[in-house]
Chain A
Amino acid sequence: MASELTTQSYITHHLTNLTCGKTPSGWTCDPYKVDQMGFWAFHVDSLFWSIGLGALFVFVFRKAISKNFDANLAPNGIQNFVEMSIEFVEDNVQSLFGSVKNTLIAPLALTVFIWILLMNLMDLVPVDFLPVLAGHVAYAIAGDTVEWIQGPESLYFKVVPTTDPNITLGMAFGIFILTIYYSITVKGLKAFIAELTLHPFGKYMIPINFVLEMVNFIAKPISLGLRLFGNLYAGEMIFILIALMLFFSSIPIGVLGFGLHLVWALFHILIVALQAFIFMALTIAYLAMAHETEEH
């Protein structure tokens, strides 16, 4: 890893995942061997935060149940937050889903919303805190035994999982699978295939219909995943660029950097919540579409 800290290396460092995968010489997390890993590589940092924040979600919501499971008591603290989230999700599901009864949609929407919100919120942690901390911890623990860890800075560590397209597309992929599943179980395989092939030009243009509908069908999860990724990646990028202002070792620019960081962080709170909401709303909308039996 670069021992000289340059603008370019700083940015690269922040935009590279800690990747572990299988190389011809065995499993490794060596950043120099990422090229040899191929498809079967995992972004350990993204997955770590993703799972950790998911677990936090489960823990907090579970706690809200076990602690105050008394309908006579007024809810307080975290309970209020939990119930507010659930009411919010219920409202959205109600408005988008209407009369269709499906007990999975609301929990799915809730999980997606809170989880993405938590992952997005990691963006508000100053960009260097956690990567540097992780680098030092890794160096202290494994500096002697693992050959590729030569210093605290040789460990890549991306903190915001939603700036990793694998995470956002992974979730979109999961929703895509659910969409297909419900399309087939609710409408029936025949109706589902008919929907993909008999529109918009009727039964004599099946191949063209299929291509058009397929593009439409596939574009949904991809746009869903990439929208979230793009917004958060751009936000993260701006945080990194603002952090770079400190490189000029000039006090006015440094102060300006702090100011900009504050402004952007405040604005980013909006994006964080908005993107989580959009992802949730589209998830509900796509699943609602999968339940619609009428022709469009």
Chain B
Amino acid sequence: MNINATLLAQAVVMIVFVAICWKYIYPPILFMMKEREKRISDGLEAAKKADDSLEEAKLAFDKELNQAKVEAAEILEKANARASQIVADASSKAEKEAEKIITSATKTVENETNKAKEELKKQMSKIIIDTTQKILDDEISEEKHNDILKKAAEEL
């Protein structure tokens, strides 16, 4: 084991390599690693944020959905109410119409009946007078004939 100038040479070489590492190797690699670490933690944070906003969106969606359901129910109820209203209106109107028709029909029938009665009276009187005239023939003048007809009509 002999110590010689190799020792000094090695010390110098070491200083050179350490200096190179210190200046050109260590800082950039460390920087790179820190940078990547930052990227990763940023990425994780962003993912977490996205998760949170997804959750929020889900909640908002649920809320909207519930509201929509309530609104739909309301609309349906209104529609039902309106439909039954329409049906009620229509049926009352129809009833009225029917009543009207019946009333007018009754009147018409009455009128017709009266008319027919009148006609019948007239014909009856005429028949009676004609018959009576034939029986009496000349005894009754024109004037008397009309009087009798008139009286008969009034009596009927």
Contact = CB atoms under 8 A, between A and B. Distances in A.
A97 interface: no
Interface residues of A, number: 49
B6 A42 contact: yes
A140 interface: no
Contacts of A90: 30
State the main secondary structure of chain A at its contact with B.
Answer: helix
Contacts of B33: 83, 86-87
B152 to A, nearest CB: 128
Interface stretch (A159-167, A187-195, A238-246, A254-262): A159-167
Interface in B15-69: 15, 17-18, 20-22, 24-30, 32-33, 35-36, 38-39
A42 B8 CA distance: 9
B135 interface: no
Contacts of A37: 4
A112 B10 CA distance: 12
Nearest to A66: B28
Contacts of B5: 21, 39-42
Nearest to A164: B6
Given A166-B4, A174-B15, A65 B28 contact: yes
A71 B20 contact: no
Contact of A41 (B4, B26, B29): B4
B14 interface: yes
A107 B26 contact: yes
B10 A167 contact: yes
A25 B4 CA distance: 19
Interface of A: 17, 19, 21, 37-43, 46-47, 50-51, 54, 57-58, 61-62, 64-65, 69, 71-72, 75, 82-83, 86-87, 90, 103-104, 106-108, 110-112, 115, 164-167, 169-171, 173-174, 177
16 contacts: A39-B4, A43-B4, A47-B6, A57-B17, A64-B29, A71-B35, A71-B39, A86-B26, A86-B33, A87-B33, A107-B21, A112-B14, A164-B6, A166-B6, A167-B6, A169-B3
